[in-house]
């Protein structure tokens, strides 16, 4: 933002309660995605009397490599606009400089970026692979001179969109034993479709049409990426713990679970002359920056140490270290695919040779849609 005072180091500043005020490096960078989609399919039709039968089969092999190091360009330091300027401001600019507001927490990245442990595209990790099969059969039947009926059934199956091959981190079951079970593959994705077209008087001037069906949507790799890295051992995937108010009291070491940084006690001399001289909590954002950056550098170095020898025996899964999920989500073990229920009914009337009036009712309802 032009004219905004810049922090002394590459960090992101976030003042909440001020219309989402954020400036600094992009928190979602760096990241990259590579994808390859290969398909083989066969479609055919067969006409027999008043029936036109269509059928087919399709196979997709989808390979993706995903890399994302959130807060990889610097941590995000947060303050609340309502809390106001710190008792010991960073400079004399008062509330016109965001760096004078009171620090309360920080998102800190570990510098790693693999989305999974699987190899793909000659990368050692980061791979997501899905095999998709689709089969369908559909019949259009001219039942009478004025009435046509149609119906069909489609079956779809994906085998790489639920992390069914990855055991859950033991810590998940401590929150809820049901969540501690391994997610399932949704193998029952049957989509029926029916419809009709009625030429009311047989003259083609008044037509009533209707139809409905179930159409399955697919999941996306992004929805399983966070779940996968949380259930793997540290030293591979991205981790972005929130430290301070609303998050962990201290930054946890991925090596041994000890404290790397406690913002309430480890900021030596940051608030001179106050009851909490060594606490970043309540200090100015500008004064807290070097302490948070130093903590992130240590966190990155320890994570790199694990990455060099990944997987390191004896280390707990990332979920157990973070004591939960900081960003993203974990999958429901009873995972079921999202789908849409679509219905349409309409009347079409020819008023004169060059004018047709149509009135239609459409319904499209999404079920179990993930965002």
pLDDT in tens, 213-230: 999 988 888 888 889 999
pLDDT of res. 217: 86
Percentage with pLDDT > 90 across the chain: 72
Residue 304 to residues 52, 262, 299: CA-CA distances in angstroms? 62, 21, 9
Q: How many residues does the chain have?
A: 371
Q: What would the pLDDT profile of 206-216 be if each residue is shown by its tens digit?
A: 999 999 999 99
Q: Are 337 and 220 in contact (CB under 8 A)?
A: no
Percentage with pLDDT > 70 across the chain: 97
Kindly tell me the burial class for residue 177, based on how many C-beta atoms sit within 10 Å of its own C-beta (0-12, 13-18, 19 or more).
exposed
Residue 329 to residues 10, 264, 273: CA-CA distances in angstroms? 28, 28, 43
Tell me the pTM: 0.81
Q: Which residue has the tokens 């948070």?
A: 292
Residue 19 pLDDT more than 80? no
β-strand pairing of 12-16 with 76-80 = parallel
Q: Are 123 and 63 in contact (CB under 8 A)?
A: no
pLDDT of res. 325: 78
The CA distance from 165 to 131, in Å, is 14
Q: Please name the residues in contact with 18: beta carbons below 8 A apart, sequence gap of 6 or more.
A: 81
pLDDT of res. 219: 81
Q: Please name the residues in contact with 265: beta carbons below 8 A apart, sequence gap of 6 or more.
A: 278, 279
Helix (H, G, I), strand (E, B) or coil at 202: coil
pLDDT of res. 205: 92
Q: Which two tokens stand for residue 78?
A: 């947060």
Q: What would the pLDDT profile of 107-121 be if each residue is shown by its tens digit?
A: 999 999 998 999 999
Residue 99 CA, distance from chain mean position: 31
The predicted model gives 250-263 an average pLDDT of 93
The CA distance from 81 to 371, in Å, is 30
């Amino acid at each position: 933002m032009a004219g905004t005072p810049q922090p002394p180091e590459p960090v992101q500043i976030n003042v909440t309660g001020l219309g989402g005020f954020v400036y600094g490096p992009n928190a979602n960078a760096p990241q990259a995605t590579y994808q390859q989609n290969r398909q083989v399919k066969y479609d055919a039709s067969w006409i027999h009397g008043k029936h036109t039968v269509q059928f087919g089969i399709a196979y997709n092999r989808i390979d993706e490599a995903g890399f994302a190091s959130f807060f990889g360009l610097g941590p995000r330091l947060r303050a609340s606009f309502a809390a106001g300027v710190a008792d010991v401001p960073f400079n004399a600019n008062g509330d016109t400089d965001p760096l004078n507001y009171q620090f309360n927490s920080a998102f800190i990245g570990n510098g790693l970026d693999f989305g999974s442990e699987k190899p793909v595209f000659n990368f050692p990790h980061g791979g997501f692979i899905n095999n998709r099969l689709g089969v369908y059969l559909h019949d259009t039947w001219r039942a009478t001179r004025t009435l046509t009926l149609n119906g069909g059934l489609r079956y779809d199956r994906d085998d790489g969109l639920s992390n069914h091959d990855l055991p859950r981190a033991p810590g998940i079951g401590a929150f809820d034993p049901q969540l501690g079970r391994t997610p399932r593959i949704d193998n029952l994705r049957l989509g029926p479709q029916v419809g009709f077209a009625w030429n009311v008087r047989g003259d083609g001037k008044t037509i009533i049409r209707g139809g409905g069906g179930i159409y399955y949507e697919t999941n996306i790799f992004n929805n399983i990426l966070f779940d996968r890295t949380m259930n793997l051992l540290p030293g591979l995937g991205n981790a972005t713990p929130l430290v301070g108010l609303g998050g962990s009291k201290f930054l946890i070491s991925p090596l041994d679970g000890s404290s790397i940084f406690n913002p309430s006690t480890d900021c030596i001399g940051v608030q001179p002359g106050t009851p909490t001289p060594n606490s970043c909590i309540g200090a100015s954002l500008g004064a807290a920056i070097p302490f948070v950056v130093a903590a992130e550098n240590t966190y990155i170095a320890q994570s790199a140490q694990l990455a060099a020898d990944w997987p390191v025996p004896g280390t707990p899964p990332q979920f157990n270290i973070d004591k939960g999920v900081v960003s993203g989500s974990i999958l429901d073990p009873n995972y079921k695919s999202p789908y849409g229920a679509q219905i349409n009914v309409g009347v079409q009337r020819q008023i004169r040779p060059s004018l047709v009036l149509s009135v239609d009712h459409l319904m499209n309802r999404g079920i179990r849609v993930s965002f």
